[in-house]
Structure 1
């Protein structure tokens, strides 16, 4: 049975979008998925299912999360192989850009079209560089970027449905689950 990784967007931010990892695990199991594990409390979950369609898996999870929580929880699903490639890109980009202050990885529900990709990458500037690879957009932030800004390169609004993780979390998840 195939194994997938799901990333929940905008959970555990503030008092109104609370979704503890034990509850996430319970809801994923209630959909019939097996081998469910979570990692830290930012909406990372691994599971197995006989379903093959990423869109159907995302829809099933989003419906179950909304029913349980009372608010929408956009969910981005990757196969283990897809996520392994994201982690390989993280390692490659980090090695090619030594001395980064931060490396954020935006996990995208859909890959951007060619012209959208160019627009996203054009947000690069003195604070850092955006690099799009498939369904991941990498914010490579240089020392001196305005720390504390949620979207220092102003690229997030161009990405569609997405959630971000640090390169450290992506690497740890790939080592743990892929």
Structure 2
């Protein structure tokens, strides 16, 4: 059995997209995955499965979540090693940055052209750094008015979900 960490996109937003972590765990177990754990109510789940194809794992989870909730829940899966690398990249990419640090987790590996497009959106106040299937967004003190957001990442690179660096580090420490 291999271990994976899944990140659910766009849940617990408003009244119609509720998906409590206990319900997430039950849906993951219903697919036949084991060793299921969740962390806070933002859609982070660890599990074990005999499946090895990330695409097949994501599809199985997305089908289960749709059946359980009645709405689509894009799901992005990483191995523990990939999650550790994302957390380690944070130190390298931050390079003394003292503002807010968010990580957009990507469903697909971006092309060189896509990476160049997101890097072109960087400015003195807002910087994007890509490592594998993760985009590190380094934002200034006025982050609520940032132009470099997960929505921009999705428009340029495809399906993504966003977590702050504190959550990424906590998950890497807890589950990797």
TM-score normalised by the shorter chain: which range applies?
over 0.9
* Structure number with higher helix proportion: 2
* Matched ranges for 1:1-178 at <5 A: 1-94=1-94, 96-99=95-98, 101-143=99-141, 145=142, 147-149=143-145, 152-153=147-148, 155-156=152-153, 157-178=155-176
Task: Write out the 4+ residue segments of structure 1 that deviate beyond 6 Å after TM superposition.
Answer: none
Query: Which ranges in structure 2 are unaligned for 5 or more consecutive residues?
Result: none
- The Cα offsets for residues 80-119 of structure 1, whole Å up to 9 and x where unpaired, read as 111111111112223x1332x2000000000110011000
Equivalent residues, number: 173
Secondary structure (helix, strand or coil) at the match of 1:148 reads: helix
SS of the residue 2:22 aligns to: helix
Over the aligned positions, Cα root-mean-square deviation in angstroms equals 1.2
Deviation for aligned residue 1:18: 0.2
- Following superposition, the deviation at residue 172 of structure 1 comes to 0.4
CA distance in 1, matches of 2:169, 2:73: 24
Question: TM-score when scaled to structure 2?
Answer: 0.94
For the residues of structure 2 that align with 1:133 and 1:38, how far apart are their CA atoms?
A: 25
What is the deviation of 1:148?
2.2
CA displacement at 1:128 relative to structure 2: 1.1
Aligned residues of 2:121 and 2:128 also touching (Cα < 8 A): yes
Unaligned runs of 5+ in 1: none
